[in-house]
Amino acid sequence: MDQLPRELAETALDGAYVQVSDAASGLDAGDFLLPSRCAGWAVTDVLYHQLLDARRALRTFASPATGAPDRDDVSYWRPFSADGDVPPGSAAAAEHARHVRIVASAFSPAELTWEWTETAEAARRAARACPHQVLTTQGHVLRTADFIGTLAVEAAVHYLDLTVEIPAAAAPDPISLGLVRRVLDGLLGESPTDGWDDLTYVLKGTGRLTLTETERARLGPAADRFPLFG
């Protein structure tokens, strides 16, 4: 797979982060308690989880690495696959969910929206301004473009989680959604022949929608690898 161009990654991050901010800013206080696509999480939990990612981004953009990259924008997600080290439903994932639920509940909707929006804007500016070619985060080294891509992919998926019960939400950003497809194809090793559009593929590939028996039959042994990441 070709290397992810930095300009494409930055454009995808802009689109994904702006969409999350716009969605959060348009919510009433009661909307923050609506269920999301993340099992057991309300909208407020997903937004706080996204805030943690934006905070990590600011730390990472100031953390240049000296070694060679050991992850790219695709392989970064392998530990979070069905057969990875931190699959959906693992003890580590449950512990993180517990932290998110407890801390998110301490924010008022207005406080959380402000904190996310300000931090996300800072992360977008930092992504554009980062002078480093390689960065370190979570014990790994990535090209700056690849790291930015991981942020965009995370935000694109969680935008879908945030807005599942918000009928007026805008359609997902096609550029950031396309980066999620790139990751799913890379993890699967091929592009599924089911004819899924990007949105359906993302929801199926990340476990937000379950595969039908017909889809499992068409995918063959590859169906057992779903969700490709979660």
Q: What domains appear along the chain, each with residue ranges and CATH number?
A: 6-81+88-173 (1.20.120.450)
Burial 187-209 (b: 16+ CB within 10 A, else e): bbeeebeeebebbebbbbbbbbb
Instruction: Tell me the Ramachandran region of residue 89: left when phi exceeds 0, alpha when psi lies from -120 to 50, beta otherwise.
Output: left
Contacts of 226 by beta carbon, 8 Å cutoff, 6+ apart: 82, 204, 205, 207, 211, 219
pLDDT of 158 reads 98
- Measured CA to CA in angstroms, residue 186 lies from 4, 71, 73, 76, 177 at distances of 12, 13, 9, 11, 14
Residue 24: name the closest of 161, 116, 90, 98 by CA: 116
Per cent of the chain over pLDDT 70 is 96
Structure-token pair, residue 210: 């379950």
pTM, entire model: 0.95
- The more confident residue out of 93 and 146 is 146
- Mean pLDDT on 12-29: 97
Residue 105, pLDDT above cutoff 70:
yes
User: Which range has the worst mean pLDDT, 7-11, 33-37, 94-98?
Assistant: 94-98
Enter the tokens of residue 28: 């009433």
Question: Residue 137: helix, strand or coil by DSSP?
Answer: strand
Compute the mean pLDDT over every residue in the chain, rounded to the nearest whole number.
94
Mean pLDDT over residues 164-182, rounded?
96
Q: What is the pLDDT of residues 113-170, one digit of tens each?
A: 999 999 999 999 999 999 999 999 999 999 999 999 999 999 999 999 999 999 999 9
Distance CA 97, CA 208 (A): 17
